[in-house]
C-alpha cells in the first residue's frame, strides 16, 4: 500500500497537541488514524515515505503503538446503529526530527 492509503488522517486532540508541545521528552508522539489491516511495519514505512515525499527529510521512527477501537452503539428514536470502528497508531519520533501534520 502507498503511504496515503495507510495513514488516513492525523488525530487532532487536546492530549495529542499537548504531547507535541512537550519539549522535555526525548520522543515526540504523533497520533494517526490508520488502515484497519495495516501492521506496525507498514505504518513505520508509511511515515518514512510521507516525510521523504512531503518534507524532503529522513525520519527515524523509534516506536509504533496501535489500538483498535470498536464502534459505539447510537440510537435515534426506535432506530439503532453502530458508528464505525477505527485503528489508531501512536508514532514516536525523536524530538529533533519533527514533522508538520497540519
Number of Cβ atoms within 10 Å of the Cβ of 68: 9
Sign of CA dihedral 38, 36, 56, 27: negative
Contacts of 17 (CB under 8 A, 6+ apart): none
Per-residue model confidence as pLDDT tens digits over 53-101: 998 989 999 999 999 999 999 999 999 999 999 999 999 999 888 888 7
Write the secondary structure of 60-81 as one string of H (helix), E (strand) and C (coil): CCCEEEEEEECCCEEEECCEEE
Task: Dump pLDDT digits (tens) for 30-48.
Answer: 999 999 999 999 999 999 9
In this prediction the pTM is 0.87
> How does DSSP classify residue 51?
H
43 and 6 in contact (C-beta within 8 Å)?
yes
Amino acid at each position: 500500500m502507498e503511504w496515503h492509503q495507510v495513514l488516513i488522517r492525523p488525530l487532532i486532540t487536546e492530549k495529542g497537541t499537548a504531547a507535541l508541545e512537550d519539549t522535555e521528552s526525548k520522543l515526540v508522539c504523533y497520533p494517526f488514524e490508520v488502515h484497519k489491516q495495516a501492521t506496525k511495519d507498514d505504518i513505520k514505512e508509511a511515515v518514512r515515505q510521507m516525510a521523504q515525499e512531503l518534507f524532503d527529510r529522513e525520519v527515524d521512527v523509534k516506536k509504533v503503538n496501535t489500538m483498535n477501537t470498536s464502534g459505539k452503539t447510537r440510537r435515534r428514536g426506535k432506530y439503532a446503529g453502530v458508528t464505525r470502528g477505527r485503528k489508531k497508531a501512536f508514532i514516536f519520533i525523536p524530538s529533533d526530527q519533527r514533522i508538520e501534520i497540519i
